[in-house]
């Protein structure tokens, strides 16, 4: 028989009691985290959101409770009434916030029983954790673990801080619909069939992009929303099909004004973990970031900049290098300090690593007692030594080189830099390094179709300095390739190598918007079909405006120190976009399909 709660009210959480509470009569409620049976004494670790408290039940002073305690198992739900007693006798547990006290129980109410959980909840750290799939299936149990409780709580606090910051600065929270029409972020849409309009479909928002711009046209001046976004993309470790953004838009704003809001809001949020981010973040253009780090989101917690060796090799007769340089490619390197002793095996692994990013191989120089190199025979010692000095390498260092197209060299060495940073522990884990990357390219070139796509989205404004170039490239077919050089008023906020936010100043004039659709190879009819309502809106007095969106999950991953996005979401999906607890996506019955006018192919 279970006990009932009746009028009993808890007086404290399981994380609250301290030495100063000794002598108080208290009521705690929570789950049995652990039970230890010592015959006449039974010890219970009682757990709730607040933490753990040790509860002791003595046969001598609480006979009935002691009998009940014998039959308790993990995850049973209890109320306990008792007196706070000191553990100053030397038994205190310094690992526990409540470790100076315990509760000497007078009465136990067993409010509910629990089946034996399919995995152990009380494991320290991540060792011995059950598989993630099992934990996702029983997410409600997994979420009871203190670490996930902490993460979800941190997330709630972060969002509360965001709202506080934005509200104080006159931003208005405006909700936009989830049942929408295709939006322009360039990923695949999630589609919802309409029952009332058979054969027609809503799309879930990839972001509220167009609607937030329309709130500017509608005169709201400063908008924000904690917005849910849906993108049907191939999943990666730090991606989920649905995620949450802080979405922001401002009228009459230039890029610097937007940066100040990004800096301010992140600064306010990071105070949560007692980290003071700089008031003004360093800025770096996209071009510089790519040149120095091979990445548009460089992790600045360690140095290891890319070194350009192309200049030293312009006259080389080593044909693979000559060919690369002849085609406008590059030869660049990273220097790994003190690693002249890299073994063949490690170099082979790193070689395989860069190949995943499209590099044809990895050449190396090792400045050990003797200088050795995979290129010694073909380049000769003199050239090798010159390369080492251009790369600013010193005795004891290893130099790792990649040759190829600029984009491949950047991708391969950018990733290798991060990989080595991790391998060699060169990342300062206690540091928080911020950066605003500016002047992103306006377009990406798709080599297969020889077409240009929007690097950010099609409403991003070109830089004033590049407007003429943009017009020239759009209006003259022969100069279309110049689109690749047009820079946009687009920017990202980066913390510790994570892209935490991105945005742009938008196009607010319909002529430039029309040119942009043309640049993207989108006929005006096609553009009208997709965004006609928005093009109309642009014609009714659109203020200059711009904004950004910040990833709530990414931000919380940094706040919580995890690389797993599922650690900061209460109910995430697996890497293959399934919810294992609800078993979704699931099938729907024939009648429902019929109503929607949909037939599923076998």
Binding residues (CB under 6 A) for ligand ASP: these are 185, 207, 209, 502-504, 547-549
CA distance 120 to 128: 9
| Beta carbon of residue 507, minimum distance to ligand ASP (angstroms, whole number) | 12
Cβ-based nearer residue to ligand ASP, 59 or 232: 232
Residues paired with residue 446 on neighbouring β-strands, in sequence order: 451
| Beta carbon of residue 205, minimum distance to ligand ASP (angstroms, whole number) | 9
Q: Which tokens belong to 181?
A: 């029409």
| Beta carbon of residue 301, minimum distance to ligand ASP (angstroms, whole number) | 25
Cβ-based nearer residue to ligand ASP, 294 or 502: 502
| Beta carbon of residue 174, minimum distance to ligand ASP (angstroms, whole number) | 14
Residues paired with residue 364 on neighbouring β-strands, in sequence order: 400
| Beta carbon of residue 493, minimum distance to ligand ASP (angstroms, whole number) | 11
Give residue for tokens 């980066």: 494
C-beta separation of 225 from 214 below 8 A: no
DSSP element (H, E) containing 111: strand 101-112
| Beta carbon of residue 545, minimum distance to ligand ASP (angstroms, whole number) | 10
Alpha helix (H) residue ranges in 274-380: 286-293, 319-326, 344-355, 376-379
Give residue for tokens 């006990």: 3
| Cβ-based neighbours of 203, under 8 Å, separated by 6 or more | 180, 181, 182, 183, 189, 190, 191, 192
| Beta carbon of residue 575, minimum distance to ligand ASP (angstroms, whole number) | 22
| Beta carbon of residue 500, minimum distance to ligand ASP (angstroms, whole number) | 11
Give residue for tokens 């799939």: 133
Q: How many CB atoms lie within 10 A of CB 49?
A: 14
Cβ-based nearer residue to ligand ASP, 245 or 496: 245
Cβ-based nearer residue to ligand ASP, 213 or 383: 213
Cβ-based nearer residue to ligand ASP, 293 or 440: 440
Cβ-based nearer residue to ligand ASP, 182 or 207: 207
Cβ-based nearer residue to ligand ASP, 249 or 397: 249
Nearest to 417 by CA among 374, 366, 353, 368: 353
CA distance 368 to 355: 26
Cβ-based nearer residue to ligand ASP, 507 or 560: 507
Residues paired with residue 502 on neighbouring β-strands, in sequence order: 492, 549
Cβ-based nearer residue to ligand ASP, 25 or 533: 533
| Beta carbon of residue 207, minimum distance to ligand ASP (angstroms, whole number) | 3
Cβ-based nearer residue to ligand ASP, 42 or 209: 209
Q: Which string of DSSP letters, residue by residue, matches 526-564?
A: HHHHHHHHHHHHHTTTPPPEEEEEEEHHHHHHHHHT-S-
List of long-range contacts for 284-289, beta carbons under 8 Å, 24+ apart: 284/435, 284/436, 284/437, 284/438, 285/437, 285/438, 285/439, 286/437, 286/438, 286/439, 286/440, 286/441, 286/487, 287/439, 289/435, 289/437
Instruction: Describe the crossing of helices 255-270 and 552-560 by its angle, rounded to 10 degrees.
Output: 40
| Beta carbon of residue 308, minimum distance to ligand ASP (angstroms, whole number) | 31
| Cβ-based neighbours of 459, under 8 Å, separated by 6 or more | 184, 209, 210, 213, 504, 506, 507, 513, 516
| Beta carbon of residue 231, minimum distance to ligand ASP (angstroms, whole number) | 9
Cβ-based nearer residue to ligand ASP, 98 or 504: 504
| Beta carbon of residue 554, minimum distance to ligand ASP (angstroms, whole number) | 12
Cβ-based nearer residue to ligand ASP, 207 or 438: 207
Q: Which tokens belong to 397?
A: 């260092």
The span from the first CA to the last CA of the chain, in angstroms, equals: 51
Peptide bond before residue 585 is cis, with ω within 30 degrees of 0: yes
| Beta carbon of residue 185, minimum distance to ligand ASP (angstroms, whole number) | 6
Q: Which tokens belong to 538?
A: 């642009």
Nearest to 522 by CA among 479, 486, 474, 485: 474
Dihedrals φ, ψ of 475, to 5°? -80, -25
CA distance 136 to 122: 16
Cβ-based nearer residue to ligand ASP, 98 or 209: 209
Cβ-based nearer residue to ligand ASP, 185 or 397: 185
Residues paired with residue 57 on neighbouring β-strands, in sequence order: 42
| Beta carbon of residue 19, minimum distance to ligand ASP (angstroms, whole number) | 50
């Amino acid at each position: 028989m279970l006990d009932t709660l009746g009028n009993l009210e808890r007086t404290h959480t399981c994380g609250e009691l301290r030495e100063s509470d000794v002598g108080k009569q208290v009521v705690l409620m929570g789950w049995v985290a652990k039970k230890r049976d010592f015959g006449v004494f039974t010890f219970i670790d009682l757990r709730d959101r607040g933490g753990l408290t040790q509860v002791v039940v003595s046969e001598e002073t609480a006979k009935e409770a002691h009998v009940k305690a014998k039959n308790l198992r993990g995850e049973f739900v209890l109320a306990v009434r008792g007196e706070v007693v000191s553990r100053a006798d030397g038994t205190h547990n310094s690992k526990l916030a409540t470790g100076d006290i315990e509760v000497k129980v007078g009465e136990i109410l067993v409010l509910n029983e629990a089946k034996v959980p399919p995995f152990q909840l009380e494991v320290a750290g991540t060792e011995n954790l059950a598989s993630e799939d099992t934990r996702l299936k029983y997410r409600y149990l997994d979420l009871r673990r203190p670490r996930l409780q902490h993460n979800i709580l941190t997330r709630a606090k972060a969002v509360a801080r965001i709202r506080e910051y934005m509200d104080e600065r006159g931003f208005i929270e405006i909700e936009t619909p989830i049942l929408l029409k295709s939006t322009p972020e360039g990923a695949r849409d999630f589609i919802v069939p309409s029952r009332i309009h058979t054969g027609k479909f809503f799309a879930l928002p990839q972001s509220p992009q167009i609607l937030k711009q329309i709130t500017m046209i509608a005169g709201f001046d400063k908008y924000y929303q904690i917005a849910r976004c849906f993108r049907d993309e191939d999943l990666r470790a730090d991606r989920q099909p649905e995620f949450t953004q802080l979405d922001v838009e401002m009228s009459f704003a230039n890029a610097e004004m937007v940066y100040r809001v990004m800096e301010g809001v992140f600064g306010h949020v990071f105070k949560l973990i007692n980290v003071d981010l700089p008031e003004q973040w360093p800025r770096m253009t996209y071009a510089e970031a790519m040149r120095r780090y091979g990445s548009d989101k460089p992790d600045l917690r360690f140095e290891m900049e890319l070194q350009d060796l192309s200049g030293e090799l312009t006259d080389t007769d080593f044909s693979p290098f000559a060919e690369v340089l002849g085609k406008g490619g590059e030869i660049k390197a990273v220097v790994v300090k003190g690693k002249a002793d890299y073994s063949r095996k490690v170099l082979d692994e790193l070689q395989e690593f860069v190949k995943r990013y499209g590099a044809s191989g990895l050449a190396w120089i090792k400045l050990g007692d003797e200088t050795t190199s995979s290129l010694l025979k073909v380049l000769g010692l003199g050239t090798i030594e010159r390369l080492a000095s251009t790369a600013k390498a010193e005795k004891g260092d290893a130099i790792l080189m990649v040759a190829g197209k600029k984009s491949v060299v950047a991708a391969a060495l950018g990733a290798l830099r991060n990989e080595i940073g991790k391998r060699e522990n060169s990342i300062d884990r206690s540091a928080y390094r911020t950066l605003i990357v500016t002047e992103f390219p306006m377009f990406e070139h798709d080599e297969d179709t020889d077409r240009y796509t929007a690097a950010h989205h099609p409403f991003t404004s070109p830089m004033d300095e590049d407007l003429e170039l943009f017009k020239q490239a759009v209006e003259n077919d022969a100069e279309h390739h110049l689109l690749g050089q047009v820079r946009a008023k687009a920017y990202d906020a980066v913390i510790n190598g994570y892209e935490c936010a991105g945005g742009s100043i938008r196009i607010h004039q319909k002529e430039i918007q029309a040119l942009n659709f043309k640049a993207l190879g989108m006929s005006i009819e096609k553009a009208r079909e997709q965004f006609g309502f928005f093009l109309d809106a642009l014609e009714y007095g659109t203020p200059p405006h711009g904004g950004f969106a910040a990833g709530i999950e990414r931000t919380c991953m940094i706040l919580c120190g995890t690389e797993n996005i599922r650690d900061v979401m209460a109910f995430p999906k697996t890497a293959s976009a399934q919810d294992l607890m609800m078993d979704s996506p699931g099938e729907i019955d024939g009648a429902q399909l019929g109503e929607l006018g949909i037939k599923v192919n076998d």
